[in-house]
Structure 1
């Protein structure tokens, strides 16, 4: 386990103040987050509840999703009395996949799911005057493990400077149910999918890279991925003519 750079209490205090400040700067009045049933979205949802009270929304957006994730999302909603909404994207996804006529087992098709969720979150956020709060952490951002214009399509990234280990520490501090904290992280793109299997890297290996602990070939691999996914962390380049 990677030792946190700050205590969970300090991290929560800093993030909550940062969210308040960014909300004031944007003349917004709350936040919306997609609730997947996983640890990252759980942490963001609880932070928004603490900061905004009733002026937040946790949106469940199943898309042929695993029932266990839905149950875990409901568990969080009940425990923290989260304002929430449900938008089942399964039929919308099926219609779009049919229209684009691509192989259903391709990554391009799998990435339609987070892009549909992004569109849904912005529809709710704009109608309420809220900001879309993403769930990406520093480990995922480092290796580019997110969908461009999907789960990266957000206004704020409250966990963006936290290692995965720090996210776990914060989740425990916030008293998020252990069944959510301890389960294998997954983007839920398909049955049996897990983050670490898909990446071919463990979160501890990526966390070590972030805090400067070298790990031979893994360090080189992570650095290569960081370099090759730079475009995913930046706004599109502009062809400047003048």
Structure 2
């Protein structure tokens, strides 16, 4: 959806205020962001600079061994003027894979694909807690809508600034923030399968975004696939289910998470 200049500017102002409020509640002024070189992490990093100031933002680059586009991630950090750390997660991922396979046998393909995002999130939290910072999630609505995310991996973070913005709206926001095209126009890819997101999904983000915003999808097969992926992935975005014992909880449950409805 083309938001238009005025609406986009208001969205950016509202988003910055929302992030400021989240950081104030948490009680930190240090943002920690995993930088991949793609548009989502680039836009979230640029947003964090606007909210916290560049000296309060730390980028963490986490290649799995060789990463073809790692130079883009480094360039993004230089462009924004933020400090960054580069941590190769391949040794940890390989060690964990070996340990699991020794215990239970060969890992499934899905387990192998989901392990690196979960290792990356563990690294991000280790860095954030060491620096007294807060992990900002970098997922967008388009990916989340069809479950193209790893639970406890790239679905994690203290809060998610882009969770209700589609890929095309993220690009518009990046341009408003003054990001060069190389940081917002790169075809999205997971960096693990050697394929673009659209190759893996089997449909374009343009079709997905239009369906999300208007409910219109001319291709019945694509609509059915999107609906199937959406239904099958909702568990990734719900709080963990908790058994309610029926026993009394008298303490003040401020967040209401133990409310027994």
TM over 0.5: yes
8 A contact 2:100–2:107 mirrored in 1: no
Distance in 1 separating the partners of 2:225 and 2:46 = 34
Tell me the residue number matched to 2:65.
Answer: 64
Tell me the residue number matched to 2:205.
Answer: 203
**1:225 equivalenced with 2:225 (yes/no):** no
Q: CA deviation at 1:103?
A: 4.5
8 A contact 1:136–1:159 mirrored in 2: yes
Distance in 2 separating the partners of 1:194 and 1:117 = 20
8 A contact 2:62–2:120 mirrored in 1: yes
Match 1:147 to one of 139, 142, 150: 150
Distance in 2 separating the partners of 1:57 and 1:169 = 23
Scaled by the length of structure 1, what TM-score is found?
0.92
**1:239 equivalenced with 2:240 (yes/no):** no
Match 1:213 to one of 200, 212, 215: 215
The CA RMSD over aligned residues, in Å, is: 1.7
Structure 1 runs not aligned, ≥5 long: none
Distance in 1 separating the partners of 2:139 and 2:175 = 18
Matches within 5 A, 1:124-143: 124-143=127-146
Q: CA deviation at 1:62?
A: 0.9
Deviations 1:42-78 (A, max 9, x none): 00111111211111211011112422x2110111111
Tell me the residue number matched to 2:116.
Answer: 113
Question: Which of structure 1's runs of 4+ aligned residues deviate more than 4 A?
Answer: 102-105
Distance in 2 separating the partners of 1:44 and 1:65 = 24
Distance in 1 separating the partners of 2:40 and 2:238 = 22
Tell me the residue number matched to 2:192.
Answer: 189
Between stretches 135-144 and 214-223, larger displacement belongs to 214-223
Q: CA deviation at 1:105?
A: 7.4
Q: CA deviation at 1:180?
A: 2.5
8 A contact 1:32–1:59 mirrored in 2: yes
Scaled by the length of structure 2, what TM-score is found?
0.86
Tell me the residue number matched to 2:21.
Answer: 21
Secondary structure, aligned partner of 2:138 = coil
Distance in 2 separating the partners of 1:201 and 1:237 = 32
Q: CA deviation at 1:220?
A: 3.1
Distance in 1 separating the partners of 2:180 and 2:2 = 21
Secondary structure, aligned partner of 1:111 = helix
Change (3 A) 1:230 1:185: same
Between stretches 101-110 and 134-143, larger displacement belongs to 101-110
8 A contact 2:217–2:223 mirrored in 1: yes
